[in-house]
């Protein structure tokens, strides 16, 4: 049994709609099947904002946020032998699933009704150390650091959303942030045509969209042709009718966020002709294994904005304001 009486730094959420608090915490101790992780980096996700803002309503409190964790394995509880000491491991949003329900047994552990999530039900990566179930951690290259962190949610959710687009050739990306700049690279690698819809004329975001494979970047009412699929990353329900209206017959709109504002009513005519509206819920370990194997082949390059642990609140506010170029990442310890 790994045992340590030392403290650690952590950024703690005490209640919804309050700033994160920098705190000295007890270093966690791994139980059976768990590993102790020295956090190297943790990417910031819009889901973190939904938790802080009280839009996801049942977090463990007080809570250490963060679910895109790149870490070094430094200890293990009884029965945990999957990772060697010093190995790099990635911790995503899905922290645990029961393995017994109808969803888990059919390869849909992302829908497990008893699932637990990192940085929501269990403490996450905005701290020096974390504990995780080794079965839900993923091996990473020995040099994995801040650039790898966004792959663990932004990349995974984007990848799952892209798979839900089927064989769509013309894909619109509504909201060009962390997920979009990663999935665009995969889609371009697959030979698809990408149309990046931005909410304004931010030249940096438009240039990034072009750099990662978008053939067209602009406002939604300027789209030059019909689309076969749209992935909506922005948490704005009013985009759903707009996206449906932009589809060719048989097209699909995929809502990729865990939270979205209410969708306004829309005429049946924009859903007719076998258009489809669907959502992405969480992720599976198979998603992670497949995407983490594919990413080096593309290769997927992350654009990151790095913040020290004590400025995690600043990173969240920049994300809220739409000021992040690519992905915001909390750098916790030297890689």
Q: Is residue 313 part of a domain?
A: yes
Interval 195-223: pLDDT, tens: 999 877 678 888 999 999 999 999 999 99
Please identify, among 257, 279, 301, the residue that sits at the C-terminal boundary of a domain. 279
Q: Is residue 126 part of a domain?
A: yes
Cβ contacts of 264 within 8 Å, gap of 6 or more:
237, 238, 240, 241
Q: Would 1 be classed as within a structural domain?
A: no
Q: How far is CA 142 from CA 73, 268, 325, in A?
A: 11, 52, 26
Q: Are residues 48 and 177 in the same domain?
A: no
249 in any annotated domain: yes
Domain boundary among 245, 261, 279: 279
Angle between helical axes of 178-189 and 203-211 (0-180°, round to 10):
30
Q: What is the pLDDT of residue 3?
A: 37
Q: Nearest Cα to 296, choosing from 167, 132, 143, 162?
A: 143
- pLDDT score at 5: 53
CATH number, domain at 227?
3.40.50.720
- Whether 236 maps to a domain, the answer reads yes
List pLDDT tens digits, range 163-199: 999 999 999 999 999 999 999 999 999 999 999 998 7
Please state the domain count of the chain. 2
Give which of 177, 71, 140 is closest to 291, Cα–Cα. 140
- In this structure, the answer to whether residues 73 and 193 fall within a common structural domain is no
* Whole-prediction pTM: 0.94
**pLDDT tens digits for 284-312?**
999 999 999 999 999 999 999 999 999 99
Among candidates 230, 212, 231, 229, which has minimal Cα distance to 298? 212
Distance CA 225, CA 223 (A): 6
In this structure, are 243 and 322 located in the same domain? Answer: no
Same domain (yes/no): 239, 316: no
179: containing domain: 156-279
Q: Are residues 172 and 148 in the same domain?
A: no
Which of 279, 294, 314 represents a domain boundary (last residue)? 279
Q: Are residues 191 and 315 in the same domain?
A: no
Residues 139 and 58 in one domain: yes
Beta-sheet pairing, 138-139 with 129-133:
unpaired
Question: Is pLDDT above 50 for 1?
Answer: no
Same domain, 148 and 287: yes
């Amino acid at each position: 049994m790994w045992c340590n009486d030392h403290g650690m730094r952590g950024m703690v959420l005490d209640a919804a709609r309050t700033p994160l608090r920098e705190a000295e915490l007890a270093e966690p101790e791994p139980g059976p099947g768990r590993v102790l992780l020295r956090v190297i980096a943790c990417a910031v996700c819009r889901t973190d904002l939904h938790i802080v803002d009280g839009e996801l309503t049942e977090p463990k409190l007080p809570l250490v946020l963060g679910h895109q964790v790149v870490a070094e394995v430094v200890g293990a509880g009884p029965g945990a032998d999957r990772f060697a000491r010093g190995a790099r491991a990635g911790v995503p949003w899905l922290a645990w699933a029961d393995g017994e329900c109808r969803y888990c047994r059919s390869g849909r552990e992302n829908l497990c009704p008893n699932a637990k999530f990192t940085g929501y039900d269990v403490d996450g990566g905005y701290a020096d150390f974390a504990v995780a179930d080794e079965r839900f951690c993923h091996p990473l290259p020995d040099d994995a650091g801040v650039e790898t962190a966004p792959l663990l949610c932004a990349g995974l959710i984007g990848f799952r959303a892209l798979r839900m687009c089927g064989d769509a050739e013309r894909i619109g990306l509504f909201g060009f942030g962390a997920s979009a700049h990663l999935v665009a690279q995969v889609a371009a690698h697959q030979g698809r045509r990408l149309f990046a819809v931005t909410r304004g004329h931010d030249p940096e975001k438009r240039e990034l969209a072009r750099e990662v494979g978008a053939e067209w970047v602009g406002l939604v009412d300027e789209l030059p042709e019909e689309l076969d699929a749209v992935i909506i990353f922005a948490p704005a329900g009013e985009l759903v009718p707009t996206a449906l209206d932009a589809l060719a017959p048989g097209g699909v709109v995929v809502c990729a966020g865990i939270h979205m504002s209410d969708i306004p009513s829309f005429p049946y005519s924009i859903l007719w002709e076998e258009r489809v509206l669907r959502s992405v819920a969480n992720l599976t370990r198979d998603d992670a294994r497949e995407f983490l194997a594919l990413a080096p082949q593309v290769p997927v390059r992350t654009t990151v904005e790095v913040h020290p642990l004590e400025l995690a609140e600043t990173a969240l506010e920049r994300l809220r304001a739409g000021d992040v170029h690519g992905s915001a990442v909390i750098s916790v310890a030297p890689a």
